[in-house]
């Protein structure tokens, strides 16, 4: 198997064949999943959203080396901007394309707001300050129901408009080319398209002047400044870019769920996204996506298989399945890090560094 | 074989076994699957498990008694999922239940999870009936979904009930209202505040903690400075217990009153002696009045006392079964109309649904903690407060009257 | 004024607990620059073990003080064992790994410890037996209970004891040397691995005592109680300057007081536009403000970054 792949790798047409195969697989995927149950399409949609978040956070953590433990705040901002501008809460119903730039801009503004005071901070101090900002945003969302009701507090905002584009209503089923497109399947294609866009931007960024400057800051900030890199501006840019992606993902989350409340934007979510980035392989866009997919799928997979499996093996449920699910998840995290401390699919730079560190 | 391929094979096996045991009930019975959803991990996992237990008990009893639908013996199966009290997970498991083609759903626990999940059950074809035994936020049934029911009282029924009782019996001049900044706690506290203010009671600016707060001293010290005559807290027992204890430790003499989330027997252990004199409300009529049978059966089956909402989820599961029996079908489309017009007496009293799917004319019970036991002192129905003893006398008289008619 | 004194007492008690837990974070960080996010769960295990022991000894009719001491005496070794196992099995293989790898490991350990605790002690909030009779004393119109006095006294004693170990003993010297430069410390004949393991174990012992104190004070123990407390304590450690032992103590006490005063006075200061619901916001703003002005915390030294 490995040899075959190695031989293929040399062939000039190989990348195109590979890309075509992947594209075909991605196109067919939702129908395969739908055969197993619409649940899996939904899970996939959430996984794509997380992938978007992970790719966005990767700019801050992976490229620029700034540990951000409050990233979910931007997701929250994006989600609430959409919810407020497209729901009966204020009676405003803007179309998606009008809200998207607003959400992205507001999120980017928050990114700069959070980034600005933290520029002097390093490493773990930065982590705790971003964590604090994340919590502050959530607490405000949870409490801005009085004295003036803006966010509706912990009750959340319900009946948010689903996505409507060119007359296609994403909340309803429809058929096209003789195929049944349920709501989740439509969302899948849309999300996939956005994710591809985000990934494209990220890959271009990584190999640009900006990307290299970020890498320099990550490796040694003082040296980077000495080489004439405007570290302040670039760090802010990293925060703003990451925040923008988070905001876009948040807007789509809002549209898909049709309901947002502050419970969805707790600290654990931020930590989860950081885990996706680290577990997948910081700095490598594809690795980060892998991390996001794994951490989204594995718990869901376990949720639906642990109990039947236990029954099969022991004839009854010995230990509560939800406990087993969490235990397996916990052990998996520890184990993966023990075996592959650089993440499952580290960037080539990281790989070099790791190799260098292990052979002193 | 590499490490990864071992993993892949293991996962594939797991998946295969997950699919292979799709209902093949013994002895040729027809399987009817009912879903139960509640948080089974996380901060309020104990309440979630209690919910699941209630539904499980109902289903096991139905199976033991034997139910025939459409002329065939039926085996009820409960499939239970953990929604982690997270709206996102809630919609995922809701979709899973729809995919599994369950006949009905008992759940979810939190209003914040139930509202988005209800849209999924409603979007299924045909819509799947869903009965919650604990989500009290009025919005749930204001969405216009025909398949959504609730056997527990709404915040805007319970809030006024406890607030009116407080205003009428304690006659406070100043009341402090505290909540845990969750959809449930805040929602209930808002209703209480509204009712008290309408009754001309001065309500202090709202104080808040979180659903994880154990240190209430700072908030309570501030409250003490305003010397209120009564304190109302909207939140769960795990936070309400420490709040009550610390309030007494600080020497607050006010009457403490809680909503149903902290109207549990746990309060005696969690707050110790401080719990004496606590006023609290529960939706429905107290289990010890309605159904000793349920209490005993629960204790026997699970070796613990019911915690909070299990009588409601027990009734919810029984309602689904009763409607199926009436319609003689487990098809959601067929038995949903029967569920809408059902008249059923369960562990929490008589249940009839109104047009929205709420329990019409739901009773509320006010309890007080006396010597470590929660004792019902009043029943509130259609805005009227009846002393508990009188209520019991009336209902037994009514029961006797019914019997005489037959 | 009496209200102000009361809030100070509330804040100091809470802060003392934060400080003791924060020490565990800061010691480990000081020596290997690792944030042991699972430290909060060790506190939870301490409380849970004490809960079981007190439950078992309850009928024996021993004096309450003896029961609490025995319970704490049982909780400490259990927590120490967990601390050791955590370092040996999860963190040691990750030395020299990228900085964020141990973070994921810590999350994994947290999940495991929480759910094992859930299996053993159920998911109910457990009413921690109130065997010490609560007595209230009055100072200037405010009340302080004997439990609060005990928490303050024990915390001060433990902090003093730890400071004595770190700054007065040979072990402490070895710890500081390892923190400064593990390679050179190794050349001086110090077994760095042993010292690091010991640091974890000492931190876990402090966590065990903190667990018992918290549970006894609030009268409640729950399998998920560790994460919230751990987070606050971690903030306290950072506030004081992570890696710095006096800093953790200062940071803990300060955070406790800031929280109490925040909850008590935000409403008055803002004309009730904001209330106690913003107490965490207030605490975080103080934290951020301090870090912006002093990027390495109150007592922290300028550390070079290795992210």
Strand pairing class (B174-179; B207-208): parallel
**B82: nearest CA partner in chain A:** A322
Distance CA B186, CA A149 (A): 13
Residues above pLDDT 70, as percent of chain C: 97
Query: Residue A143: closest CA among chain B residues belongs to which residue?
Result: B181
CA-nearest of C104, C102, C110 to C38 is C110
- What is the ipTM for the molecules in this complex? 0.89
Cβ pairs bridging B and C (under 8 Å): 107
Q: Are C148 and C154 in contact (CB under 8 A)?
A: no
- The SS3 assignment for C219 reads coil
Kindly state whether B251 is in contact with chain C, defined as any CB-CB distance less than 8 angstroms.
yes
What pLDDT was estimated at residue C96? Answer: 81
- Portion 108-127 of C in contact with B at CB < 8 A: 115, 118, 122-125, 127
Q: Does A129 touch chain C (CB under 8 A)?
A: yes
Q: Is the pLDDT of residue A324 over 50?
A: yes
Q: pLDDT tens digits for A144-171?
A: 987 889 999 998 998 899 888 777 777 7
Please state, rounded to an integer, the average pLDDT across all residues of chain C: 90
DSSP 8-state class, residue C190: -
Q: Which of A125, A140, A142, A324 to mutate to test the interface with C (most CBs of C within 10 A)?
A: A125
Which chain A residue is nearest to residue B40, measuring alpha carbons?
A322
Q: Evaluate if residue B396 carries a pLDDT over 70.
A: no
**In chain A, what residues touch B115 (CB-CB under 8 Å)?**
156, 158, 259
As a three-state string, the secondary structure of chain B is CCHHHHHHHHHHHHHHHHHHCCCCCHHHCEEEEEEEEECCCCCCHHHHHHHHHHHHHHHHHHHHHCEEECCEEEEEEEEEEECCCCHHHHHHHHHHHHHCCCCEEECCCCHHHHHHHHHHHHHCCCCCCEEECCCCCHHHHHCCCCCEEECCCCHHHHHHHHHHHHHHHCCCCEEEEEECCCHHHHHHHHHHHHHHHHCCCEECCCEECCCCCCCCHHHHHHHHHCCCCEEEEECCHHHHHHHHHHHHHCCCCCEEEECHHHCCCHHHHHHHHHHCCCEEEEECCCHHHHCHHHHHHHHHHHCCCCCCCHHHHHHHHHHHHHHHHHHCCCCHHHHHHHHHCCEEEECCEEEEECCCCCECCCCEEEEEEECCEEEEEEEEECCEEEEHHHHHHHHHHHHHHHHHHC
Q: Is A15 on the interface with C (CB under 8 A)?
A: no
Mean pLDDT (whole number) for A337-350:
84
The answer to whether residue A300 neighbours chain B at the CB level (below 8 Å) is: yes
Question: Average of pLDDT values for C138-146?
Answer: 87
A267 touches chain C (CB under 8 A): yes
What percent of chain B has pLDDT above 90? 57
Over residues A266-323, the pLDDT tens digits come to: 998 999 999 999 999 888 999 999 999 999 999 888 888 888 888 788 777 777 888 8
Chain A residues in contact with C104 (beta carbon < 8 A): 275, 278-279, 333, 336-337
- Mean pLDDT of all residues in chain B? 86
Residue with tokens 């490995």: A2
**β-pairing, B148-150 with B130-132?**
parallel
Residue C126's closest CA among C176, C52, C67?
A: C52
Helix ranges restricted to H, chain C: 2-32, 39-57, 64-85, 101-121, 146-168, 170-180, 182-187, 192-218, 225-240, 245-269, 279-293
How far, in Å, CA of B47 to CA of B35, rounded? 17
Alpha-carbon distances of C277 from B104, B139, C227, C237, rounded to whole Å: 39, 24, 20, 24
**Cβ count near A360 (within 10 Å):** 6
Amino acid C152: pLDDT: 95
Q: Please indicate whether, in this complex, the C-beta atoms of A143 and C277 are within 8 angstroms of each other.
A: yes
Any CB–CB contact under 8 A between B255 and chain C?
Answer: no
Give A66's contacts in chain C (Cβ within 8 Å).
307
Distance CA C214, CA C17 (A): 7
- The sign one gets for the Cα dihedral B264, B268, B269, B274 is positive
CA–CA distance, B340 with B321 (Å, rounded to integer) = 13
Whole-number pLDDT of residue B324:
94
Q: Give the integer Cα–Cα distance in Å for A271 and B55.
A: 34
pLDDT tens for residues B192-223?
Answer: 999 999 999 999 999 999 988 999 999 999 99
Residues ≥6 apart with Cβ < 8 Å to B253: none
Residue B87 near chain C (CB below 8 Å): no
Could you identify the residue written with the tokens 């003080």?
Answer: C65
CA separation for the pair C66, B133 (Å, rounded): 45
**Would you list the DSSP string of C264-288?**
HHHHHHTTTSS-GGGHHHHHHHHHH
Higher pLDDT, C57 or A124: C57
Mean pLDDT rounded to a whole number for chain A: 88
pLDDT tens per residue across span B338-376 = 999 999 988 888 899 999 999 887 788 899 998 888 888
Q: Does the pLDDT of residue B66 top 70, yes or no?
A: yes
User: What is the per-residue pLDDT across C226-276, written as a single tens digit (0 to 9) for each?
Assistant: 998 999 999 999 999 988 889 999 999 999 999 999 998 988 888 888 888
pLDDT of residue B267: 87
Nearest-Cα distance to chain B for A135, in Å, is 13
Q: What is the mean pLDDT of residues A248-263?
A: 92
Residue bearing tokens 């209930």: B188
CA distance A120 to chain C (A): 7
Residue of C85, C87, C102, C115 to mutate, testing the A interface (most A Cβ within 10 Å of its Cβ): C115
**Ramachandran region of residue B125, left (φ > 0), alpha (ψ -120 to 50) or beta?**
beta
In this predicted model, what pLDDT tens digit does every residue of B299-345 receive, in sequence order?
999 998 888 889 999 999 999 999 999 999 999 999 999 999 999 98
**Contact state of B91 with A257 under an 8 Å Cβ cutoff:** yes
- Do the chains contact at C234 and A129, CB–CB below 8 Å? no
What pLDDT does B18 receive? 41
Chain C residue with minimal CA distance to B209?
C277
pLDDT number for residue C243? 87
Q: How confident is the model at residue A8 (pLDDT cuts 50, 70, 90)?
A: low
Q: How does DSSP classify residue C144?
A: E
**Residue A308 forms contact with B (CB below 8 Å):** yes
Residue A131 pLDDT greater than 50, yes or no:
yes
pLDDT surpassing 60 at residue C303: no
The residue among A70, A140, A96, A37 whose CA lies nearest residue A256 is: A96
Name the band, by pLDDT with cuts 50, 70 and 90, for residue C302: low
Nearest-CA distance A166 → chain C (Å): 43
For residue C307, pLDDT over 50 is answered with no
Task: Give the pLDDT confidence of A52-85 residue by residue, as tens digits.
Answer: 999 999 999 999 989 899 999 999 999 999 999 9
- Identify the pLDDT of residue A84: 95
Q: What is the pLDDT of residues B268-299, one digit of tens each?
A: 888 888 888 999 998 777 766 657 889 899 99
> pLDDT tens, B113-136?
999 999 999 988 899 999 999 998
pLDDT confidence of residue A342? 86
Beta-sheet pairing, B174-179 with B202-203? parallel
Provide the pLDDT confidence category of residue B403 given band limits of 50, 70 and 90.
Answer: very low
Q: Which subunits have 3 or more CB–CB pairs within 8 Å of chain C? A: A, B
Residue B78 has pLDDT above 80, yes or no: yes
- The string of pLDDT tens digits covering residues B151-188 is 988 888 899 999 999 999 999 999 999 999 988 899 99
pLDDT at C220 over 50: yes
Q: Give the neighbours of chain B: at least 3 Cβ pairs within 8 Å.
A: A, C
């Amino acid at each position: 198997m490995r040899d075959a792949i190695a031989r293929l790798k040399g062939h000039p047409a190989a990348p195109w064949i590979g890309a075509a195969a992947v594209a075909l697989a991605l196109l067919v995927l939702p129908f395969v999943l739908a055969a197993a149950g619409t649940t899996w399409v939904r899970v996939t949609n959430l996984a794509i959203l997380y992938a978007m978040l992970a790719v966005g956070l990767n700019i801050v953590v992976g490229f620029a080396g700034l540990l951000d433990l409050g990233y979910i705040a931007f997701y929250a901002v994006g989600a609430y901007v959409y919810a407020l501008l497209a729901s009966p809460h204020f009676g405003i119903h803007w179309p998606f394309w009008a809200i998207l730039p607003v959400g992205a801009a507001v999120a980017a503004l928050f990114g700069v707001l959070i980034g600005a005071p933290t520029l002097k901070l390093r490493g773990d101090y930065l982590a705790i300050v971003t964590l604090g900002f994340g919590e502050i945003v959530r607490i405000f969302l949870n409490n801005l129901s009085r004295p003036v009701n803006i966010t509706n507090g912990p009750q959340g905002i319900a009946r948010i408009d689903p996505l409507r584009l060119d007359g296609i209503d994403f909340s309803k089923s429809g058929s096209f080319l003789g195929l049944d497109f349920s709501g989740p399947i439509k969302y899948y294609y849309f999300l996939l398209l956005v994710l591809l866009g985000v990934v494209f931007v990220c890959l271009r960024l990584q190999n640009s002047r900006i990307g290299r400057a970020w890498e320099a800051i990550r490796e040694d900030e003082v040296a980077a400044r000495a080489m004439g890199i405007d570290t302040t501006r670039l760090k802010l840019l990293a925060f703003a870019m990451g925040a923008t992606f988070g905001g876009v993902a948040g807007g789509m989350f809002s549209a898909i769920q049709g309901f947002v409340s502050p419970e969805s934007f707790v600290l654990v979510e931020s930590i989860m996204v950081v885990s996706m980035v680290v577990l997948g392989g910081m700095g490598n866009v594809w690795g980060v996506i892998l991390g996001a997919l794994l951490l989204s799928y594995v718990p869901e997979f376990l949720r639906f298989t642990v109990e039947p499996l236990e029954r099969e093996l022991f004839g009854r449920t010995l230990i509560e399945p939800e406990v087993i699910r969490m235990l397996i998840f916990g052990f998996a995290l520890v184990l993966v890090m023990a075996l592959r401390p650089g993440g499952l699919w580290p960037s080539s730079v990281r790989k070099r560094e790791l190799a260098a560190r292990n052979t002193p | 074989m590499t490490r990864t391929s071992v993993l892949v094979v293991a996962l594939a096996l797991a998946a295969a076994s997950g699919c292979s045991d799709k209902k093949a009930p013994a002895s040729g019975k027809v399987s009817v699957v009912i879903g139960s959803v509640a948080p089974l991990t996380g901060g309020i996992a104990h309440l979630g498990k209690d919910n699941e237990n209630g539904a499980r008990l109902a289903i096991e009893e139905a199976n033991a008694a034997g139910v025939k639908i459409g002329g065939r013996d039926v085996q009820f199966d409960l499939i239970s999922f953990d929604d982690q009290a997270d709206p996102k997970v809630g919609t995922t498991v809701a979709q899973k239940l729809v995919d599994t083609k369950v006949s009905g759903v008992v759940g979810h626990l939190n209003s914040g999870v139930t509202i988005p999940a209800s849209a999924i059950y409603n979007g299924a074809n045909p819509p799947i009936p869903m009965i919650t035994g604990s989500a009290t936020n009025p919005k749930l049934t204001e969405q216009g979904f025909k398949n959504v029911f609730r056997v527990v009282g709404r915040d805007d029924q319970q809030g006024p009930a406890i607030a009116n009782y407080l205003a009428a019996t304690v006659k406070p001049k100043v009341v402090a209202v505290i909540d845990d900044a969750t959809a449930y706690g805040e929602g209930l506290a808002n209703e209480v505040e509204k009712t008290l203010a309408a009754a001309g009671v001065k309500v202090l600016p709202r104080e808040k903690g979180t659903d994880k707060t154990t240190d209430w001293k700072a908030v309570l010290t501030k409250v003490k400075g305003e010397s209120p005559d009564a304190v109302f807290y909207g939140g769960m027992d795990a936070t309400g217990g420490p709040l009550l204890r610390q309030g007494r430790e600080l020497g607050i003499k006010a009457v403490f009153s809680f909503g149903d989330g902290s109207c549990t027997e746990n309060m005696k252990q969690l707050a110790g002696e401080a719990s004496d004199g606590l006023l609290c409300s529960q939706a429905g009529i107290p289990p010890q009045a309605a159904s000793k049978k349920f209490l005993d059966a629960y204790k026997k089956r699970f070796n613990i006392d019911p915690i909070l909402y299990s009588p409601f989820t027990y009734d919810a599961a029984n309602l689904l079964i009763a409607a199926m029996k009436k319609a003689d079908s487990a098809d959601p489309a067929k038995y949903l109309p029967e569920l809408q017009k059902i008249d059923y007496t369960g562990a929490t009293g008589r249940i009839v649904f109104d047009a929205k799917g709420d329990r019409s004319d739901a009773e509320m019970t006010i309890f007080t903690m006396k010597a470590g036991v929660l004792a019902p002192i009043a029943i509130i129905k259609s805005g009227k407060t009846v002393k508990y003893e009188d209520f019991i006398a009336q209902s037994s008289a009514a029961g006797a009257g019914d019997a005489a008619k037959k | 004024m009496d209200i102000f004194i009361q809030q100070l007492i509330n804040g100091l008690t809470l802060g003392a607990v934060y400080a003791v837990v924060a020490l565990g974070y800061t010691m480990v960080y000081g020596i290997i620059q690792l944030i042991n996010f699972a430290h909060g769960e060790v506190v939870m295990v301490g409380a849970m073990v004490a809960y079981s022991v007190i439950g078992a000894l309850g009928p024996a009719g021993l004096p309450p003080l003896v029961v609490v001491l025995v319970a704490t005496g049982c909780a400490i070794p259990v927590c120490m064992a967990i601390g050791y196992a955590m370092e040996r099995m999860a963190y040691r293989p990750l030395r020299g790994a990228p900085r964020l790898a141990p973070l994921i490991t810590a999350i994994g350990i947290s999940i495991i410890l929480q759910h094992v605790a859930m299996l053993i002690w159920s998911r109910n909030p457990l009413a921690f037996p109130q065997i010490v009779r609560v007595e209230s004393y009055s100072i200037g119109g405010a009340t302080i209970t004997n439990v609060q006095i005990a928490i303050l006294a024990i915390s001060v004693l433990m902090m003093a004891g730890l400071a004595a170990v770190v700054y007065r003993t040979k072990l402490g010297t070895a710890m500081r040397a390892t923190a400064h430069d593990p390679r050179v410390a190794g050349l001086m004949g110090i077994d760095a691995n042993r010292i690091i393991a010991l640091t974890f174990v000492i931190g876990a012992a402090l966590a065990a005592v903190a667990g018992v104190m918290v549970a006894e004070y609030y009268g409640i123990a729950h399998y998920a109680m560790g994460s919230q407390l751990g987070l606050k304590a971690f903030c306290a450690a950072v506030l004081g300057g992570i890696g710095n032992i006096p800093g953790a103590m200062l940071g803990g006490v300060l955070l406790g007081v800031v929280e109490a005063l925040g909850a008590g006075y935000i409403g008055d200061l803002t004309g009730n536009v904001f209330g106690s619901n913003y107490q965490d916001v207030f605490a975080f703003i103080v934290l951020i403000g301090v870090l912006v002005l002093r990027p390495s915390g109150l007592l922290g030294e300028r550390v070079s970054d290795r992210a």
